[in-house]
Structure formats: structure tokens, C-alpha cells
């Protein structure tokens, strides 16, 4: 049984406290303002010490909403006839990268639905090669293109991708089956195995979870955070679950946490993970802003250090509808960039320009091995 008073004292007294999953669960759920104050103060101090008072920009390019999978929570799942399916052209992706480069972002995230065809694999390889040639290695690339074979991961790594984001969504195999179709294309062990393959190939490995899914509780979220620590990930993108009407999980909306609780838990999860994993990169998820206009600032204020301006051309944004009320779907990249810079500065952080913003955690592990 965790004593909240003792936990608060520990957060005040210890510069780098070691937290159990039970303590994390209490921190996520507690509404005690004094405990919350000590919790956020400690997370922020750790971010400032290990990362600095700065935020890295990653230009997000949602290359395509075509996906072969059917995750029960996702608005662009293959069986959803609603969104218009699109694929950005080679030149459109290169233009987005050029914009990121000129703005001094130092890094882009190329994201798409999950496709494993030879044509798709070749297209991504060609894009990576072109980005390497054009920017001479000065633009770091994170890929987020789902589960692939080791050979494909290796090929993309060799072509210039050095970071890969593959969210696990939940660390509980049983719960994973409850939010995915039960077939071989949606297999928990396979997803975990992909995280291991990515590490083996040499990527900076990113993962993440959803918070506030129907049927989830605070203890489960706390264990998910411990899973990310056990997997020793280098970067994390996680945020509150937001329902989408055109998905099977919509039927379970009566079991949802209130939106404000999902927001609060999403922010507290960032703070808890910062205490658990001091030198990783943690993104302030866009989904936080879907609930509260200042959701991303709140995450940056308690330990996040990455923010992702959307560089997807406006005509495609509404069709990359992973969840409802996704913010910033009608702002062009220039507006998005200025808006996010203002958000970062408003909470006293510096925008780190012309830097890759690699995970310190990754480089430290490389040095030790």
C-alpha cells in the first residue's frame, strides 16, 4: 500500500527517485494537489538536468493513410470506408522535408499506415536515399511505418532512417487482443518482437501507449510505463485515447474515462515517465491538444522535450483522422510552425534549432556497449 505523504516526501527529497509501478499508479490517479505539485516539480527538474530547458521540433509528414490493418480504435483502419485514401507524391514529401530543413527543425518523422508490399518498401527506400543525398545527413529521419521484416528495417536503416517509432499501445497481451482483431496480423508478441528487431538493427527505438481506453485503469497504465522502461526505449510518443465514431471501439464509449481524466492522466504519464527514464526523448502528443488547447504546453511543462509541427499538406490532413477532433487540420505548415514556437517559448523553453535532437539515452547505451 503506497502512502501518499511518504511518496510526496520522497519526490521532494530525492533528486532521482526510483518509482515502483504501484507508486506510479498512485501518482497517475491521485487528485492531491500537494502531491501533484511535488511530482511535477521533480519531473521538470529531471528534464532540465538531463535534457536541458529546450524542446526539439520534429516535422511530421503523414505520407499516406492507406493501411492494411484494422486496429479497433483507429479512424484510418482498412475497413473504414469513410476517409478518402491518399498517398503524398515523392515531391510532396521532399517539399515537406525542405520546409523542415529551412526552418532549422533538424529532423522529420515520416509516418504512414502499415503496408508491406514490395512497391511500398521500395518507395520508402528511394525517399530515404533522396533525403540523405539532398540534405547530406543534416536532416534526421524517424520512420513510423508499422511492423516490417528485419530485412526491411535493415534496408531502411541503411538508406538513412535512424529512428523508428512503433507504438505498443498497451503492454497487456490480453488487453491488446481486446482492442485489435484476433488474427495473425494483429499479434502482440510480433509487435514486441519488431521492437527488438529495431534495436538489433541499430535504430533509436520509439514506442508509446494510449491512455484512457475503455476497460483500462490506472494500474494498467502504470504497468505500461514500466514496460517502456523494461524495453529500454529511446523515445516515446503517447497520449490520451480519443474515440472515433467510425471504429468498432465506438460501441464501448459508455466505458470511457471522462475527457478531462484522460487529459490529466496523459500529462501525468509524461511526468512519471520522465522520472522513470531521465534522458529519453518524450513527445508532447497532439492528442493532448485535442482535449485542451494548452494540452501540449502542459506536457512540455512537466517533462516532455519534443513537439511535432504538422508538415502534411492541408488537403490531406483531414483524411489522416486517427481520432476525432484532431487539432491543426486547417493550419498550413507556416502557421503551424509559428504557433508551436510560441507555445514552446510561452513556458520558458528554448526551441533547439539545427540539431538532430538524438536521444541521449541511445547514445549513452551505445557508449556502454
Alpha-helical regions (H) of the chain: 4-13, 21-29, 33-50, 90-102, 118-135, 150-159, 173-178, 188-201, 218-230, 259-276, 286-291, 295-301, 314-317, 333-346, 360-368
Shortest separation between residue 267's beta carbon and ligand SF4, angstroms = 22
Shortest separation between residue 242's beta carbon and ligand SF4, angstroms = 13
Do 231 and 187 form a contact (C-beta atoms < 8 A)?
no
Which residues of the chain form contacts with ligand SF4 (CB under 6 A)? 67, 69-71, 74, 76-77, 113-114, 146
Cβ nearer to ligand SF4, comparing 66 with 360 = 66
Cβ nearer to ligand SF4, comparing 177 with 294 = 177
**Residue recorded with cell 512497391:** 119
Give the integer Cα–Cα distance in Å for 210 and 26: 18
Shortest separation between residue 69's beta carbon and ligand SF4, angstroms = 4
Q: Which residues, including other chains, have CB under 8 Å from residue 172's CB and lie 6 or more apart?
A: 220, 223, 224
Cβ nearer to ligand SF4, comparing 142 with 337 = 142
Cβ nearer to ligand SF4, comparing 74 with 277 = 74
Give the integer Cα–Cα distance in Å for 214 and 228: 21
Shortest separation between residue 266's beta carbon and ligand SF4, angstroms = 17
Could you tell me which of 114, 106, 16, 11 has the C-alpha nearest to residue 55?
Answer: 106
Q: Which DSSP string corresponds to 234-258? A: SEE--EE----TTSGGGGGGGGPPP
Give the integer Cα–Cα distance in Å for 190 and 208: 16
Cβ nearer to ligand SF4, comparing 43 with 283 = 283
Shortest separation between residue 115's beta carbon and ligand SF4, angstroms = 9
Cβ nearer to ligand SF4, comparing 70 with 154 = 70
Shortest separation between residue 220's beta carbon and ligand SF4, angstroms = 19
Amino acid at each position: 500500500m503506497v502512502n501518499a505523504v511518504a511518496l510526496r516526501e520522497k519526490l521532494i527529497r530525492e533528486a532521482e527517485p526510483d518509482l515502483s509501478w504501484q507508486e506510479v499508479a498512485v501518482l497517475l490517479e491521485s487528485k492531491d494537489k500537494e502531491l501533484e505539485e511535488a511530482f511535477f516539480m521533480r519531473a521538470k527538474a529531471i528534464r532540465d538536468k538531463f535534457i536541458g530547458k529546450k524542446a526539439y521540433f520534429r516535422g511530421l509528414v503523414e505520407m499516406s493513410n492507406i493501411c492494411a490493418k484494422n486496429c479497433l480504435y483507429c479512424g484510418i483502419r482498412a475497413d473504414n470506408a469513410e476517409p478518402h485514401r491518399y498517398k503524398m507524391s515523392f515531391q510532396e514529401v521532399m517539399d515537406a522535408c525542405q520546409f523542415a530543413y529551412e526552418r532549422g527543425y533538424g529532423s522529420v518523422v515520416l509516418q504512414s499506415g502499415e503496408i508491406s508490399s514490395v512497391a511500398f518498401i521500395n518507395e520508402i527506400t528511394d525517399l530515404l536515399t533522396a533525403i540523405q543525398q539532398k540534405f547530406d545527413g543534416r536532416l534526421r529521419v524517424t520512420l513510423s511505418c508499422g511492423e516490417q521484416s528485419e530485412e526491411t528495417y535493415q534496408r531502411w536503416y541503411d538508406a538513412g532512417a535512424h529512428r523508428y517509432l512503433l507504438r505498443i499501445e498497451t503492454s497487456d497481451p490480453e488487453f491488446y487482443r481486446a482492442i485489435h482483431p484476433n488474427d495473425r496480423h494483429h499479434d502482440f508478441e510480433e509487435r514486441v518482437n519488431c521492437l527488438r528487431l529495431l534495436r538489433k538493427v541499430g535504430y533509436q527505438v520509439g514506442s508509446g501507449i494510449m491512455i484512457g481506453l475503455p476497460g483500462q485503469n490506472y494500474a494498467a497504465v502504470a504497468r505500461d510505463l514500466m514496460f517502456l522502461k523494461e524495453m529500454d526505449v529511446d523515445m516515446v510518443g503517447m497520449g490520451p485515447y480519443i474515440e472515433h465514431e467510425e471504429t468498432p471501439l465506438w460501441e464501448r464509449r459508455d466505458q470511457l474515462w471522462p475527457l478531462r481524466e484522460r487529459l490529466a492522466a496523459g500529462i501525468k504519464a509524461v511526468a512519471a515517465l520522465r522520472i522513470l527514464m531521465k534522458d529519453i526523448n518524450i513527445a508532447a502528443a497532439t492528442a493532448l491538444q485535442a482535449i485542451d488547447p494548452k494540452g501540449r504546453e502542459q506536457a512540455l511543462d512537466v517533462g516532455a522535450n519534443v513537439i511535432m509541427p504538422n508538415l502534411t499538406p492541408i488537403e490531406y490532413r483531414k483524411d489522416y483522422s486517427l481520432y476525432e477532433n484532431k487539432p491543426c487540420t486547417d493550419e498550413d505548415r507556416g502557421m503551424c510552425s509559428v504557433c508551436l514556437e510560441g507555445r514552446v517559448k510561452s513556458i520558458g523553453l528554448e526551441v533547439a534549432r539545427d540539431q538532430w535532437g538524438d536521444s541521449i539515452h541511445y547514445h549513452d547505451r551505445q557508449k556502454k556497449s
